[in-house]
A and B are shown apart, each in its own frame.
Chain A
Amino acid sequence: MASYNLKINGKEYKTTVDDDTPLLWVLRDHLGMTGTKYGCGVASCGACTVHVDGQAMRSCVLPISTVANAKITTIEGLSEKGDHPLQLAWDEVDVPQCGYCQAGQIMSAAALLKKNPKPSDADIETALSGNLCRCGTYHRIKEAVKLASKK
């Protein structure tokens, strides 16, 4: 057990957990932020995607000890009022079916748009190929990313 001061969504959080606890479970179990989802635990589905110093990372395989000093952004902190262009586009295009994977999809897309504000189809496919959607909303995900990139 160790004590950590974490910088998440612009706020400081203090928590005491085992060093090997994945960031995902710290967020969900210890800090009450359940927007980041558990899907596989082996970085193969992308449901747990967060930003660590601006990079899209799979929080299910990130031991808390490795991100103690990093700036972490979760879906809850992507925008203050839920009005990030991607969040608005996701609603506009009516992307979600079950909705479970969508926070991870949006976080992967947000990291892409930050680096590449006008991505091509191929860029979107590459950036989001690590995010599974079991409902098959991929067409609308692409459409929403493109819509957001035009704003």
Chain B
Amino acid sequence: MQHSRRDFLKYTSAVGGGFLLGFNILSPKRLDAAVVSADTEGAVSFNAYLSINADGTATIFSPNPEVGQGIKTSFPMIVAEELDIDWRLVKVEQAPLDGKRFERQVAGGSGSTPHSWKRLRQAGATARQMLMEAAAKRWDVPLSTCTTENGKVWHKASNRSLTYGELAADAAKLTAPKDVPLKDRKDFKLIGTSVKGVDNPLITTGKAIFGLDFKKEGMLIAMVQRPPAFGLKLKSFDASEAKKMSGIVDVVSFSNKVAIVGKSTWEVKKARDIVKIEWEKAETLESTADHDRIFKDLMVNGKPEVRRKEGDTEGVFKTAAKVIEAEFQCPFLPHNAMEPMNFFAHVDGDKCELVGSTQNPQSHRDQVAKALKIPVENVTVQMTRMGGGFGRRLNGDFVVEAAELSALIKAPVKVIWTREDDMSGGIYRPACRYRFRAALDKDNKMVGFEMRGVGINAGDPTRGGNSFPVGAIDHVLIDSVNHKSPITTGPWRAPITNFLAFAEQSFLDEVAEKAGKDPVQMRLEWLDKAQKSPVGAVKYDIDRFRKVIQLVAEKANWGKSPKGVHQGFSVYFSHNSYIAQIAEIVLEKKKPVLKKVYCSVDCGILVNKSGALNQVVGSIVDGLGHAMYGKLSFKEGAAEQNNFNTFRMIRISEIPEVEVHFVDNGIDPTGLGEPALPPLGGTVANAIYKATGKRLRQQPFVNEETELLEKLL
């Protein structure tokens, strides 16, 4: 326990206490050389993102939370590229939350790289320029005759060089130049290559610190008993026996919950099991069967909110030669990050220290400050590595809870959720149902398109109603209805589109079939239409869309697969990136078996090729697993699955071959942590249809009605 605590304290002092002179890269100003950390002697700070050490190495601070998206490697790569330093000379540190020096310290929306791309490049390029200026001055040569290479400034004419370490102190005294030119893409040495995760050596030896691993002297452990069903509230509790158990310090109640506080996890868990708690009904206790009824009722009788309207769908459906209609439904899903929720909080008077796994530290800090009624400046947040998040750690409930408890018991405390707590504790992917209608004219052209989304606490289940092929269809009506439920929901990797894309892409496949068209060709025709005569706003880039479609069709030999290989196609635009996929299914003993998924990706410039591939393949596995098996059902407000022995997750023996192709177009990076997930369900379902003639309209695919799919993977 001792060693990990000390290691961590050293790390926090290096990043938190000692980094004295950061400045905002967007408002460059003169700065003095400053020692950045207690354990890196002679380190000189250039800006919020980097310091140069006397030994010629650079310390690059990664401000965004690392949730498995690889940001702790790719962000520093971007800085190092423009700084022009050998990657082996780079040390990476996780920066804490600091709204003055950094922007958007969030792991969400696949937005980190798009948001910070220019900023990070500018940080590296500005420091490089200052180092060159310092060298030019020292050698008394024109700046234009200086160049850089792998962490050194060169004056090639006289064959002289100085390491960045030798120049750092002088360079940092210079006024930071504005608008330093950035590298031409063809000169990139690091960006676009495969760089291994900077924490790999720590992860593979068990030394990486995740939230659950963080410890601090005097820290207590707590588990919280929350209402066992949505709609219940605390009536009374009797903790007299629990309090007598070994290792138990206190049992307290707050915010409709009971917290058991003690010295070790197991002791606290055992004590929680014997606390007698009575709950009472506060709201309706909803079951999955209720939701099924509510969906069907609201689909017909709900008062929908119009999200997008073009032309006159009512008229066009009346005169249509053919009308196609289908409904799709998905259940709630827990996020199931491998590291269950937990957080450390230490409230001391009007100050609060927070440490742990969070995707959204600034928002959580603000929520804690509000809950404790203390100034936000008095709340600090250190981010550890996260054992996954998938959106769950964007929600601040578990952080606020830890802070409230620490304030109540006046001690540093880590609140730990068991897997059962985590899976039954809410903030789920909302359950949704969609109805689609397509009107074809006598030439089998889709002239009318309607979609109604009904969601349970889903916000707008149509995501604005702007998805392709909207923009190419003359008459469109997209609307939605919401049911308010006591079951809590939140963003889940690729919010809404994680299921909406399946529904849309399955339906469009059905439209193509009924129209007697090839599904790929039909999409390309719509794109032509959206380009030549757009209908209303077109919120996607037509050329990028077209390119990924053509690329995957070419790579998978669309339409020319060998006999017995059944292909399904889908394409989706989300998080500003474009993904097209083709799945291949064969029948073995009359059961469909998914053999391969081809995937084309346009996310602009790749920063870390290895990391990018990991995201795409991981998203495909994630999308497949949840489409196949993911289901959280409810009985009287309580989740019916609460651990991995009742909630089925995809396993290593169930993965198809995956082949990924990236479009190389030099466009600034767009999102990648999420967009490969949404189309996957439709890709696979459309291939299953080809193989079996069965249209899947619900997730998960594997359930009582689709027993035939048990063997798919």
The docked-state distance in angstroms from the alpha carbon of A13 to that of B210 is 24
Q: Give the residue name and chain of the B residue nearest to A131 (CB).
A: B652
A73: shortest Cβ distance to chain B, in Å? 11
Q: Give the residue name and chain of the A residue nearest to B66 (CB).
A: A98
Q: Which A9-29 residues have a C-beta within 8 angstroms of B?
A: 17-18, 20-22, 25, 28-29
Residues of chain A within 8 A of B621, CB atoms compared: 136, 138-139
* Most B C-beta atoms less than 10 A away, residue of A21, A47, A92, A94: A94
Q: A96-B200, A142-B652 are in contact. Are A136 and B338 (CB under 8 A)?
A: no
Residues of chain A within 8 A of B337, CB atoms compared: 98, 100, 134
- Contacting residue for B204 out of A39, A91, A139, CB 8 A: A91
Q: Give the residue name and chain of the A residue nearest to B650 (CB).
A: A136
- Contacting residue for B653 out of A44, A101, A106, A125, CB 8 A: A125
B636 touches A (CB below 8 Å): no
A74: shortest Cβ distance to chain B, in Å? 7
Do A33 and B649 touch (CB < 8 A)? Answer: no
- Contacting residue for A136 out of B67, B70, B418, B622, CB 8 A: B622
Do B204 and A82 touch (CB < 8 A)? Answer: yes
Residues of chain A within 8 A of B201, CB atoms compared: 82, 91
Do B68 and A97 touch (CB < 8 A)? Answer: yes
Q: A76-B205, A106-B204 are in contact. Are A100 and B618 (CB under 8 A)?
A: no
The docked-state distance in angstroms from the alpha carbon of A18 to that of B247 is 10
A14: shortest Cβ distance to chain B, in Å? 14
- Contacting residue for A37 out of B199, B207, B338, B610, CB 8 A: B338
Interface of B is mostly: loop
Do B203 and A32 touch (CB < 8 A)? Answer: no
Residues of chain B within 8 A of A20, CB atoms compared: 266, 270
Residues of chain A within 8 A of B246, CB atoms compared: 1, 18
B620 touches A (CB below 8 Å): yes
Do B625 and A136 touch (CB < 8 A)? Answer: yes
Do B205 and A75 touch (CB < 8 A)? Answer: yes
B129 touches A (CB below 8 Å): no
A149 touches B (CB below 8 Å): no
Q: Mark B676-699, 1 if CB is under 8 A from A, else 0.
A: 000000000000000000000000
Do A129 and B204 touch (CB < 8 A)? Answer: no
B140: shortest Cβ distance to chain A, in Å? 46
* Most B C-beta atoms less than 10 A away, residue of A37, A90, A99, A138: A99
B387 touches A (CB below 8 Å): yes
The docked-state distance in angstroms from the alpha carbon of A135 to that of B652 is 12
B265 touches A (CB below 8 Å): yes
Do B203 and A99 touch (CB < 8 A)? Answer: yes
Q: Mark A45-81, 1 if CB is under 8 A from B, else 0.
A: 1010000000000000000000000000011101000
Residues of chain A within 8 A of B614, CB atoms compared: 94, 97, 135, 137, 140
* Most B C-beta atoms less than 10 A away, residue of A91, A95, A100: A100
Q: Give the residue name and chain of the A residue nearest to B385 (CB).
A: A99
Q: A74-B206, A135-B68 are in contact. Are A97 and B643 (CB under 8 A)?
A: no
Q: Give the residue name and chain of the A residue nearest to B1 (CB).
A: A32
The docked-state distance in angstroms from the alpha carbon of A66 to that of B670 is 53
The docked-state distance in angstroms from the alpha carbon of A45 to that of B646 is 12
B245: shortest Cβ distance to chain A, in Å? 10
B233 touches A (CB below 8 Å): no
Do A133 and B338 touch (CB < 8 A)? Answer: yes
Residues of chain A within 8 A of B338, CB atoms compared: 37, 39, 45, 47, 98, 100-101, 132-135
- Contacting residue for B651 out of A30, A74, A100, A132, CB 8 A: A132
The docked-state distance in angstroms from the alpha carbon of A92 to that of B649 is 27
Residues of chain B within 8 A of A106, CB atoms compared: 204
Residues of chain B within 8 A of A47, CB atoms compared: 338
B644 touches A (CB below 8 Å): yes
Residues of chain B whose beta carbon lies under 8 Å from any beta carbon of chain A: 1-4, 66-70, 194, 196-197, 199-201, 203-210, 212-213, 215, 221, 246, 264-267, 270, 336-340, 385-390, 418-420, 610-611, 614-615, 617-622, 625, 643-645, 649-653, 655, 658
Question: What are 7 A-B pairs at a CB distance below 8 A?
Answer: A25-B264, A25-B265, A35-B206, A41-B643, A82-B205, A94-B200, A140-B617
